Chain A
Amino acid sequence: MLAVALSLVLMVLDHRFAHLHQLRTTLSVATYPLQILAELPVTASQWLQEITTTRSELVSNNEALRAQNLKLSAELQKFESLQAENIRLRNLLDASYKVGDRVLIAELSAVDLDPYKQQVVISKGSTSGVYEGQAVLDADAVMGQVIQVTPFSSTVLLITDPSHSIPVQVLRSGLRTIAVGSGRVNELNLPYLPTNSDIREGDLLVTSGLGGKFPSGYPVARVTRIDRAPNNAFAEISAEPAAHLDRSREVLVVWSVTPAPTIAEEAPEPVAEADDSGDESPAEDSP
């Protein structure tokens, strides 16, 4: 009975408050050897595959990569000039420009977690500077965000988990909304768009950068189905994540480099004013 009560208390604490984070992290470090052991067959087979690839395979692989590299660097040339142009235009508008994003490549661990939660473990932890709430991408699109960090590994909540929502923007029309996970690995829901909103099947959704967790402008999903029932106020829209959530082996952990917030500089001024005129108007509270 004591154990039952204890586990109930633990569950409530874990669900409602963040007190148990430290305990969970400590235990995760203790069980890390088990994770490595569980991964061993996969890493061993990968290693075996690597050392047994034939020369011709390597040569053809190399050629394909060379071609891709050439194509990408050609595209990058265009991108650099466009970026310079973008910075110049934004300077004209006096708008702040995000300097850029720094990424770290992490490998996905093969360890299976609870099959009814959309979570994965990656091979980089707080020793590499990963922090909670950080955005995680794969080669194509946004995958999710870090929810738990241990020194050597971290857990990532995928965007398709039912408890995860991500602020997005329709690339074509600039319409902003929120994409909520469905619990299935290939589907996101957009429940907050009115029936008459400007969205079509095939539209690309990108991160809007609102909320501050995800850097803006990364692709998230493509709209697959729109159900505009005339008797409903909201359309039922589902989208397919552009990231290969169930297939990626390498992921990118992103640090966004943002310019220092200007709001912080403006904030002290009203306080100073309030101090000056504090005796005359006590009703006016400083913010």
Chain B
Amino acid sequence: MNSRSIWVLAITFLVALLMMILPMPEWARPFRPQWVTLTLIYWCIALPHRVGVGTGFTLGILLDVLTGTLLGQHALGLSLVAFLSVQLHARIRVFPFWQQALAVLVLLVVEHLFALWVMGAIDQTPPGLIYWVVPLIGAVLWPWVFVTLRDVRRRFKIT
């Protein structure tokens, strides 16, 4: 992996972080998809020997600072998601799109579940059922994220 691929990877992650804090209308705020998680899952599946738990942890800390949550809340979820995707990468890679989306849904739910546990542990008011719509939106978006990032990877020949 040369320095140019590292830059491309960093830029995709930065764009994902940006999408997490981009201003949205008030009604749409609870429905914001987990862009960072989706991007992380893709790179973990595509380059399991390069991207892993460390990347997930760093991204999580940055996300915590950006969104003002407890330092470590996203880091915990993203590290676990990175670990699971690296473990399952060989299986998820060969799935057809819809089956991939299901696997991704499970990973997204895992991340959300851990965030919910943290919220519960620090006595923050737990969000309503709308909270669980977000992973569904993420799973629906997965094919597009996958195709876009795959094209990026082929275009810049990142291996």
Contacts and interface: CB of A to CB of B under 8 A. Distances in A.
Interface stretch (B85-93, B98-106, B116-124, B137-145): B116-124
Nearest to B131: A116
A10 B62 contact: no
A58 interface: no
B4 interface: no
Given A7-B75, A7-B79, A11-B118, A113 B68 contact: yes
Contacts of B76: 4, 7-8, 11
A8 B23 contact: no
B41 interface: no
Contact of B24 (A4, A112, A155): A112
A246 interface: yes
Given A6-B72, A24-B71, 19 more contacts: A4-B79, A6-B57, A7-B76, A8-B76, A10-B72, A11-B70, A11-B73, A11-B122, A14-B70, A14-B71, A27-B61, A37-B18, A112-B22, A113-B67, A113-B68, A115-B127, A116-B119, A121-B68, A163-B123
A111 B21 CA distance: 6
A117 interface: yes
B57 A114 contact: no
Nearest to B69: A114
Nearest to B65: A27
Contact of B68 (A20, A34, A155): A155
A7 B14 contact: no
B125 A35 contact: no
A112 B23 contact: yes
Interface string A1-39: 011101111110111000010011001100100110111
Interface residues of A, number: 41
A15 B122 contact: yes
B66 interface: yes
Contact of B21 (A8, A13, A38, A119): A38
A12 B65 CA distance: 16
A34 B35 CA distance: 15
A31 B57 contact: no
Interface of chain A: mostly helix, strand, loop or mixed: helix
14 contacts: A3-B53, A4-B79, A4-B80, A6-B72, A34-B66, A35-B21, A38-B22, A41-B22, A111-B23, A112-B67, A116-B124, A117-B124, A162-B125, A246-B26
Interface string B28-65: 01101000000000000000000001101100111001
A183 interface: yes
Interface of A: 2-4, 6-11, 13-15, 20, 23-24, 27-28, 31, 34-35, 37-39, 41-42, 110-117, 119, 121, 148, 155, 162-163, 183, 246
B63 to A, nearest CB: 9
A189 to B, nearest CB: 12
Given A3-B54, A4-B80, A10-B71, A34 B125 contact: no
A211 B127 CA distance: 30
Contacts of A42: 23
A110 B76 CA distance: 27
A98 to B, nearest CB: 32
Nearest to B57: A3
B21 A3 contact: no
B69 A115 contact: no
A37 B69 CA distance: 20
